[in-house]
Structure 1
Amino acid sequence: MRNHLLFLAILAILMAIVSATKVRYDNYKVFKIRTQNLEQQKWIERLADASKNFNLWHSGQGEVHIMVSPQKLIYLQNYTRSFNMPLEVMVSNVQSLIDGEQTTKTTDDLNDFGWTRYYPLSEIETYLDDILAKYPEVTSHIDIGTSFEGRKIRGIKISYNEGNPGIFIESNIHAREWITSATATWLINELLTSEDADVRKLAENHDWYIVPVLNVDGFVYTHETDRMWRKTRQPVSTSSCIGADPNRNYDSHWMENNGASANPCSETYAGTHAFSEPEIQALANYVTSIKERLNIMLAFHSYSQVLLSPYGWTETPPDNFDDLMAVAEAYSNAVEKLPYKTKYTYGTSAGAMYFASGATNDWAYSEADIQLSYTIEFRDTGRYGFILPPVQIIPHCEDTLAGLLAFVEKADELGYLKVKYT
């Protein structure tokens, strides 16, 4: 009996060590594959669903970006060659990008929090606490709910005047998209501290609801275990694979028109049912409770540099399509005028990128009646993908602020910022 207990104790220790070991991506490569039709695109996507040696980074508009292990490199080359699909290296060693991303604090990180590196959840939460303590008259805490693993999903409201039209920002729904929470925290700081007249108008004439990290469990997992993790962390009873794609889990045309996967191992697995993921149910409940106060819904994502409006489940455009495109065009034009010359495209999710049912922007538009609802895919277009170097954080944030200033101005011009409640 004693030996049996000793064995179990040793086994538990070994399992803990293994689980704490960070996944490495030495000599993993990311390829851009040009596809000639939707069928070829689906072939490549299925590789990622069927094997842990492949990971889908991007798919749509005639090309797929896929990460491949060194063990399956020749297989991928032969596979694409046999179907005459051109192959181009985008990232030659994924681990080298990850290593370069792990910078240390610098003197630019004022008050122990800045935007020259990426932060784990605990430090983001400390930053929110500091903001709430420093600006108690215009900020308040938002309790969105609790994740599967028991973490609090936190947000912050910035309101200078009662009765302002509302803008909601959902960020880091996909765990590996670190630039999104970095941007959200930077925007919080700008809205509270900027002395620029246009930014002050933006801050003080709108109520801001900002959730820096929605997928808290997945985000922690990317920092502690697997940098490339995308989904939630809730186990699936019918599979050994973990988690669902939270941006396919909203109860809005869930699983329609091949806009998500029923395979639990897929990166776009929609979950066992709509709102199966507690994080998504919680956010939907909160947004529903204040929907009459919201005029704009923005979901921050990376990467691709594109603004995506509803719909993702169908190619049929929404009724206010022209207005949605005019607002997106204003964002794109403003960003491109900056010295960085970042180019954003725009369109509906299904038309400009791919079918995506059960996504935030569709749910907010169709179920919460927020008529300006977008997914914004941030930098870049594939050179770094999800592993955007910290040196680009501030330039990207400056892009985003310029885009939002033009976005909101155009939305106001078109009549979308009228207060919806009394």
Structure 2
Amino acid sequence: MQDELVSIERTLKESLINDIHDVDSLLQLGEIYYTSGRQQLSKICFSKILDISNDIYVKEKSRTLLFKSEHDIQTNQNKVQPVPDFLDLLIKELLEHSMNDYYYNIDMELFELMAVPVSIDRIVVNTENEKKEILKHIQGIIELFYHLEDQASRNLLITVLAFRLLGNKKVKLPLNTNEYWSQRQSLQNLIHANETIKTKYHGWNLSLFDLRTVGYDLQLFCISIGLSATFMDRQYEYDKIAPAIKARKADIVIDAGGCFGDTALYFAHEVGENGHVYTIEFIPSNLEIMTKNLGLNENLKQRITIVERPLWNVSNEKLYYMDQGAASSVSFTKTDDFNEETLTISIDDLVKERNIPKIDFIKMDIESAEMNALKGATQTIQTFRPKLAIAIYHQVNDFANVVNFIAELNLEYKFYLGHYTIYAQETILFAVPE
């Protein structure tokens, strides 16, 4: 009987993830919460029904149960409430945000770069697709939640999922503050010259920035959004614990997804003259810009080795690609569009071929190839137990798969979560060995 009740409750919660305004499911779940002593949660359900339902009978029943819930809360203060589980917290978050109606909750600079018209009700999330994917992988996401080590990471996961499920009209992500926009605006003061580089991706013009006044003795061509994420928000550091999870002096770093070279330069700055960075990038137009950026910084360039092959779980697989700069695509099948070719390499083979003595930090942001690249780094991770900063935002199943893959290596890693935009991109899973 207990198993049946648990199953019914789980089904109701999943129904609400799909439609947070499903009054029947809200009423049934509220009643289950009430009868099981979770009055704080039942109160939220009944209050929402009163806000959204037009059914007089349902509203009266909810009002009665809301009164009872509030009465129990006020008169049974010594009664211990059951601890809410992950789905309880997610439903609570969705209910709290579901009536919001934010205008222009978008990154306007990004829209301008993409040459996309801005409107007051612009939607940037395909919420229907997100609902399907999140429900499909919900058990793995639950496991991610309980793997996360600190409350800040767990709260962030709930908020990021709410954004994906409800969209930017309903949820603002934590980075969307006046301080963030002020920081972004201040970066314009770092533009060093009128010279720009045009990219293959949407014809972006990269400005030349000089970062000496913000603590980095380097120059590079970049866009301010990327500059902010890498150098100001430090998206490959987790600083909510001490010591922070980051690349340190004398570390050897794998920078998977080098693009224009900004992350390689950042890591080279952090590891110092006794460290080294292996940056992975194989797209020709990206390499052209990266080479120019490294050439502007001869002292840091000496600490960087470019590996011009894509990461995969095995080496020497033939891969075809279409050079579109930062948005390049790959295929294992040659077509009219995918007609440039290269060979993959695994991190394990890279370490062997280059006789790399240790690996201290691995960063990956490689457009959905993270899981395969991790599989190709199994021996390296087992041998050196490096710190990890892995992008999991490209596909929802990575929220589930990446943490479980690392955890199943049984290397006593602790996990944390960061997020570095006001939209769904740049969710980073950090892992540090105990």
**TM-score higher than 0.5 here?**
no
Bigger relative contact order (CA 8 A; separation at least 6): 1
Larger radius of gyration: 2
TM-score w.r.t. the length of structure 1 is 0.28
Relative to total residues, which structure has the larger helix share, 1 or 2? 2
